[in-house]
Amino acid sequence: MPRDDKTGPVGYDVRDGVAVLTLDAPPVNALSAALRAALRAALARANADPAVRAVVVTGAGKLFSAGADITEFGKPARDPALPEVLAAIEASAKPVVAAVTGAALGGGCELTLACHARVAGRRASFGLPEVRLGLIPGAGGTQRLPRLIGPVAAFETMLSGRSLDAGAAKTAGLAEAVADDPLPRACALARDLAAAGTWPVTSAHPVAADAGTRAALSRATEEAMRRHGALSNTAALIRATEAALALPFAEGLALERAEFAALISSPQARALRHVFFAERQAAKVPGLDAATPTRPVARVAVIGAGTMGGGIATAFANAGIAVTLIETSDELLSRGIERIRAGYATSVRRGSVSENSAEAALAQISGAVGLQAVAGADLVIEAAFEDMAVKRAIFAEIGRAAGPGAILATNTSYLDVDEIAAASGRAGDVLGLHFFSPANVMRLLEVVRGGATRPEVLATAMALAKRIGKLAVVSGVGFGFIGNRMLAARTRAAERLLLAGNPPGRIDAAVTGFGFRMGSFAMTDLAGLDIGWRARKAFGGFAPVADRLAEMGRLGQKTGRGFYLYPEGARTGTADPEVADLAMTLGRELGIAPETLDAAAMTERLFLPMVNEAARILDEGIAARASDIDLVWINGYGWPVWTGGPMAWADDIGLRTVVAKLDAQARQLNLPELAPAPLLRRLAAEGRGFAGFDAERRAEGRA
């Protein structure tokens, strides 16, 4: 007789001699203390039950399991520990098969590795994404995965944190079978194993450790250190993987456990957990909820086939969404489409996109001349010249030409979205979608909510961002929104350092030493000095050196000269003493006192004014929460993720110290604008941080 019993987070149901244990803890079957205890108890019950010959573990809902319960991290450990539960599964006197219905991640994947076999459903995937949380797998993953799929493939899977789909898992030797309905198949396999009386035990598998494998692993680990050495879990992952080759299973497991325990309380892991929860928070927009309707979007029109427009079109086409690219002439249109085509050809050559996917994406893109072509689109994105008059004229026309219900978006990076919206005659349909260049690569999308933007328009944009793989952060209307307004603060600070006699190379070295991939001036050279120069002409801003260079025609990489020299198309600049001389001269003219700072002092000069500006952004309600600001700078500007972003970094320093340092900067440089923002002073005086501010807003239902 089947027995169905659902008292806790693990269901127990006996089907024809097989006990089916169902992980059932919505929303993601995280392996909380309660679930771990229930799983251990259910396994013991199955082992004690004479009517049971074998066991199957499966998951209720969309996922198999998202792994360890991240909300338990940083708190005192609670029994039973996951490795102990998994050891009990592996040592079970009756065979245990995993029926993997959806994603098995982290500890969820490790649970399947401890089972004696795995049957994958079509939607199943297996991944160990612990690295993204500053960790390594901590429940046997570093020891069992190398035994199942080989050390090199295992290392690369754990290092990337990427998942294998059902087919790849089968090919790699991770899944025994793929089935439309994995549960009955897993039950059948479990019965077969029980009948045979013997089953594979992962920890007893030999590990491939021949000379070729060792050499390949050492190449992979060297490359990993070169690319990710700044993250302390990279070295830990290498040590644990090497232990799988060198040590008996139990010792390897103990080493993994010790590495995991050391990492979990590290500042990097804490910061990455902050980022994980920040991303979930960013999806929660004040004023929107699950009941807010969304509008269907099947076709997008992009106005402007330049670099930005082409990148945006590519981002949609990659997600299988039809795009009409609109230009003012046939010539500009074909040039734009040609550039997109060339972009795909490069990706295919580099192996990042298959030829078939590139063709399928290109087939989504069509072109048209004239704004009337927006008529069939559900979403229109304007990516034209950054000029209010141009944008207003476009919005006046598309306001009439676009179909009823179509959403109209501007990709402006500075301008007033409300003013643009007003020109359309249908401001409720308008919002800003600020993509970052290259738009098909960069993960950030600032979604700018105008004063009149309708909730369903905003909700549609948020859902669409997810569909095209972007991380959406909502911003209110204001000059430069969140990211570029803070960038302006950094640009001002960098220019001041330059004018005080610090050469660009040393300032940039302080920025890359902090963890950015690119320095401030190198980034300006890449983007082109004309962009900032034009913006400052229109809106003001302080960058006398950059302005002079732009006027000299030194526009950066594209002209071979900017802050640095790029002889013969070089991508990395070399120092130009002329620039340092020019800065010194301008500095003298402006009465700026020369001072040579070390990297740490430069870091404070560059980044604390950004935090100050961010505090104003928060106070004005342009950003709903400090953690949104962290996401903007991590995903749009390359702020090092392992610090948690600028606001988490400031919290780590302590806001009292931040306030004292900003006061000192304002005094020393005689710049009242650097004096701490009122919100910063208030939080510091209350002994709180930005995290506390966010928690308070959440409690009030404002974030």
Residues that bind ligand 3HC (CB under 6 A): 27-28, 30, 63, 66-71, 82, 103, 105-107, 110, 129-130, 133, 137-139, 141, 280
Q: Which is nearer to ligand 3HC, 533 or 642 (CB)?
A: 642
Q: Which is nearer to ligand 3HC, 107 or 501 (CB)?
A: 107
The reply to whether 673 belongs to the active site is no
Q: Which is nearer to ligand 3HC, 127 or 450 (CB)?
A: 127
Strand partners, 179: 121
CB 158, min distance to ligand 3HC, A: 10
For 360-421, the three-class secondary structure string (H helix, E strand, C coil) is HHHHCEEEEECHHHHHHCCEEEECCCCCHHHHHHHHHHHHHHCCCCCEEEECCCCCCHHHHH
CB 390, min distance to ligand 3HC, A: 38
Tokens at residue 34, please? 């309660």
Judging by DSSP bridges, how do beta strands 4-5 and 10-15 pair with one another? antiparallel
Distance between CA atoms of residues 237 and 59, nearest Å:
28
CB 83, min distance to ligand 3HC, A: 8
CB 214, min distance to ligand 3HC, A: 25
Strands, sheet with 103-105, edge to edge from the N-terminal-most edge strand: 103-105, 125-127, 164-165
The reply to whether 110 belongs to the active site is yes
Tokens at residue 9, please? 């987070």
Give residue 382's identity as a one-letter amino acid code. Answer: E
CB 136, min distance to ligand 3HC, A: 8
Q: Which is nearer to ligand 3HC, 138 or 304 (CB)?
A: 138
CB 166, min distance to ligand 3HC, A: 16
Distance between CA atoms of residues 593 and 584, nearest Å:
10
Distance between CA atoms of residues 445 and 471, nearest Å:
6
Q: Provide DSSP, 293-334.
A: ------EEEEE--SHHHHHHHHHHHHTT-EEEEEESSHHHHH
Distance between CA atoms of residues 57 and 266, nearest Å:
33
Q: Which is nearer to ligand 3HC, 162 or 517 (CB)?
A: 162
Q: Which is nearer to ligand 3HC, 63 or 420 (CB)?
A: 63
Q: Which is nearer to ligand 3HC, 280 or 350 (CB)?
A: 280
| Cα distances (angstroms) measured from residue 371 to each of 314, 328, 366, 470 | 20, 8, 14, 27
| Cα distances (angstroms) measured from residue 622 to each of 134, 378, 482, 626 | 30, 27, 7, 11
CB 281, min distance to ligand 3HC, A: 7
Q: Which is nearer to ligand 3HC, 105 or 674 (CB)?
A: 105
Closest residue to ligand 3HC in the complex (CB): 106
Q: Which is nearer to ligand 3HC, 277 or 385 (CB)?
A: 277
CB 427, min distance to ligand 3HC, A: 31
Q: Which is nearer to ligand 3HC, 70 or 666 (CB)?
A: 70
Tokens at residue 404, please? 């009823």
Catalytic residue among 72, 84, 90, 130: 130
Distance between CA atoms of residues 319 and 491, nearest Å:
35
Name the residue with tokens 């793989």.
469
Distance between CA atoms of residues 653 and 109, nearest Å:
37
CB 96, min distance to ligand 3HC, A: 19
DSSP state of 565: B
| Cα distances (angstroms) measured from residue 43 to each of 52, 67, 699 | 11, 18, 40
CB 473, min distance to ligand 3HC, A: 15
Tokens at residue 66, please? 């998202």
Contacts (Cβ under 8 Å, ≥6 apart) of 485? 478, 479, 613, 617, 622
Instruction: With beta carbons less than 8 A apart as the criterion, state whether 450 and 417 touch.
Output: yes
Catalytic residue among 110, 176, 382, 613: 110
SS3 content of the chain, % helix, strand, coil (to 5): 55, 15, 30
Crossing angle of helices 626-637 and 483-499, in 10° steps, is 70
Crossing angle of helices 232-246 and 151-160, in 10° steps, is 160
Give residue 531's identity as a one-letter amino acid code. Answer: I
CB 133, min distance to ligand 3HC, A: 6
Q: Which is nearer to ligand 3HC, 71 or 352 (CB)?
A: 71
Which residues carry out catalysis? 110, 130
